[in-house]
Structure 1
Amino acid sequence: MSLATNPSASALRPADARFKRKSLFLIVSILLLVLATVCSLKFGVRSINTADVLQAFLGHADTTDQAAAFKRIPRTVLGFLIGAALSVAGTTMQAVTRNPLADPGIFGVLSGASLAVVIGISFFSLSNAVSTMAVAVLGSALAAAFIYAVGSLGRGGATPLKLALAGAATTAALSSLVSAVLLPRIDVMDKFRFWQIGGVGGAEWDRMAMATPFLLLGFGMCLFFAPGLNALALGDDVATSLGENVLRTRILSSLGAVILCGVATALAGPIAFVGLVVPHITRMIVGTDHRWLIPCSALAGAILIVFADTFGRVITRPSEIAVGIIMPIIGAPLFIWIIRRQKTREL
């Protein structure tokens, strides 16, 4: 005699487990975001007690410690914006190219933005914040288009290996061009040598206010096309048979990623590896549904950048290490682990 089972109930169990895992990830991420905020305001060249941190967070700057914590708020907010932007950009690029090694830094997009900004400042006296962001987005777009075109040449089209090689070669070339433009111009080099490293120490409210609409636009575009990115993961033919406009999804979601990369680079300089390691690790936890993966990656990236920036301020007190230096130290071992663990043909 066999026991009767409810097929519908058993079919729902895996979906319920996945939903609980995603919900738990969001809850833990929010708690870590709060912890990262407190640590960023509390630790630095001087440590500040928690009571003064809370007062500074409420807008009070009556004592020296409260004023010091209050001045760290823009830096913390910029860390959130940069981490979220680069993580979402990396997630989208990996989905568009179906390549787990896709990353704004590895694919040369950050270098393209850097070169465009440096050329604008050196030859056209670019100084306006909005113009700088627009030029950075243009440089990111041109670099991304060039790398995809080169990676598409030959048999097999744009394979992950060819895209990674084209991105690495382009990154090296663009970085050399940045140095070539800067070396004869001492005034420009002095102004942007710290920016080239990548960091959030120069946070300013007015620049972040100008950048926020562009960041929201890029994030909105990536999130809006999340269902289409899910379809792309099944292959272009299957996505087309499901009614998805593959070309439109690929172009507009890539444009959203390019906007995020360009604006983030204009604000904080090129910071590598965030868009590589964060989406990959987040995907292992919440799965491949981009409707969840994109916002979860944004949270995880924001947490990572703020914690990395705080660590850089604490480890060498009273000086500090820029987050653009900390991230490769964290990201390089993870990158090697990803390569060894994954068969990097496609997502």
Structure 2
Amino acid sequence: MSSSSALTDRRQKLHMPRNFTTVLVVCIVLLGVCAVASLVLGSRPVRFHELIDGLFHPDIDSYGANIVRKRISRTVFSLLCGAALGVSGALMQSVTRNPIADPSILGVNTGAALFVVSGIAFLNISTANQYIWLALAGAAITAIFVFGIGSMGRGGATPIKLVLAGAATSAAISSLVAAILIPRSYVMDQFRFWQVGSVGSGSWSAIATFAPFLIVGVLIAIVTAPALNALALGDDVATGLGVRTGVLRLVAALAGVILCGAATALAGPIGFVGLLSTHVMRLILGPDLRFVIPMSAIAGALILTIADVSGRLIGSPGELEVGVVTAFIGAPILIILAMRSKVRSL
């Protein structure tokens, strides 16, 4: 096959999926429905007039309207964290060429948790700004370590080796976290709520802290998407197309770590969101990351918001943390996906 025909075939493969518009419209509608549900549903349901008062009449100081106003920041925070985890999952799967790569499976969340708990125990940190930098450092170091271990030996970084390296690293780091927590009850009390993963602490200040990291990570993901498409064809082909594979992997992985680490710092280690959102979008839309990345952001926001609302309803009058709900929902879906498709390199 000539080079011109090969280039033509490649362009044809990267055209917009036929069902992209339909999927986009459906997801946006569902996103709106979930956002309204997040404002209305909970341990104390909100009536329609209270929803209107809370959204459009700031001068009205009623109990229901105040609940709506508090839930607005929580809903926005949930949507943004879900989007960040969705994009992070897409980037990690592409960089590692592993269809089941996810911040939680690769141990990145656990690495962020180790640095956060160490900061609480030894540095007396207590603010979101302090959490976020420690979590980013822990996520980055863990990602480098897991990829280094998974790349050793014959065959390089295969999907199975990366998952095993991530599982082993996560187990070891969890032991270190327990060793720090057990003799320090005051640290355990502060860390316990964060550890299970929750968007209940979402506030406008947390959103303001998180937004710059989200913007930077998403922009890098969008810019690198065409090159990551080339990387999916193999390193040799990507190099032939002019892609600097080493630099690309470093930049894309950095963006994934920024998104995952920032979300983990503020909401705790929430698993399965990045894995599920990206995997489902690949199945529906195909492999083109120019479309998978933005749709993974929307799907991640949907999954996390649905999990948050479900946790409030299931745990009423209390609340079941969103990290527990995503694990409960994600595990069986992951099993179904694994049964229907082979786990192979992307």
What TM-score, normalized by structure 2, do the two folds share? 0.93
CA distance in 2, matches of 1:149, 1:15: 32
Q: What is the percentage of aligned positions where both structures have the same residue?
A: 48
Give the counterpart letter for 1:41 in structure 2.
L
What TM-score, normalized by structure 1, do the two folds share? 0.93
The equivalent residue for 2:39 is 41
1:259: how far off? 0.4
The equivalent residue for 1:305 is 304
Superimposed CA distance per residue, residues 144-178 of structure 1 (whole angstroms, 9 cap, x where no aligned partner): 00000100111111111100100011111111211
1:59: how far off? 5.3
CA distance in 2, matches of 1:131, 1:323: 23
8 Å Cα contact 1:114-1:270 kept in structure 2: yes
- 3-state SS of paired residue (2:296): helix
The equivalent residue for 1:58 is 56
1:342: how far off? 2.2
User: After TM superposition, what 4+ stretches of structure 1 lie above 3 angstroms from structure 2?
Assistant: 14-20
State yes or no: 1:210 paired with 2:209.
yes
The equivalent residue for 1:8 is none
The equivalent residue for 1:173 is 172
The equivalent residue for 1:124 is 123
1:111: how far off? 0.4
8 Å Cα contact 2:17-2:286 kept in structure 1: no
CA distance in 2, matches of 1:288, 1:55: 44
CA distance in 1, matches of 2:115, 2:236: 36
User: How many residue pairs get matched?
Assistant: 335
Root mean square deviation of aligned Cα: 1.7
Superimposed CA distance per residue, residues 246-297 of structure 1 (whole angstroms, 9 cap, x where no aligned partner): 1111000000000011100111000001111110001111221111111101
- 3-state SS of paired residue (1:168): helix
CA distance in 1, matches of 2:309, 2:169: 32
The equivalent residue for 1:4 is none
8 Å Cα contact 2:14-2:288 kept in structure 1: no
8 Å Cα contact 1:88-1:222 kept in structure 2: yes
Superimposed CA distance per residue, residues 183-203 of structure 1 (whole angstroms, 9 cap, x where no aligned partner): 111111111201100010111
CA distance in 1, matches of 2:65, 2:170: 42
Gaps of 5+ in 2: 1-8
CA distance in 1, matches of 2:14, 2:83: 27
Superimposed CA distance per residue, residues 60-95 of structure 1 (whole angstroms, 9 cap, x where no aligned partner): 353211111111111111111111111110110001
1:17: how far off? 9.6
* Cα distance, 1:16–1:92 mapped onto 2, change above 3 Å: closer
8 Å Cα contact 1:92-1:253 kept in structure 2: yes
Where do 1:125-274 residues align within 5 Å? 125-274=124-273
CA distance in 1, matches of 2:52, 2:97: 44
8 Å Cα contact 1:59-1:70 kept in structure 2: no
Deviates more, 1:177-186 or 1:109-118: 177-186
1:206: how far off? 1.0
- 3-state SS of paired residue (2:259): helix
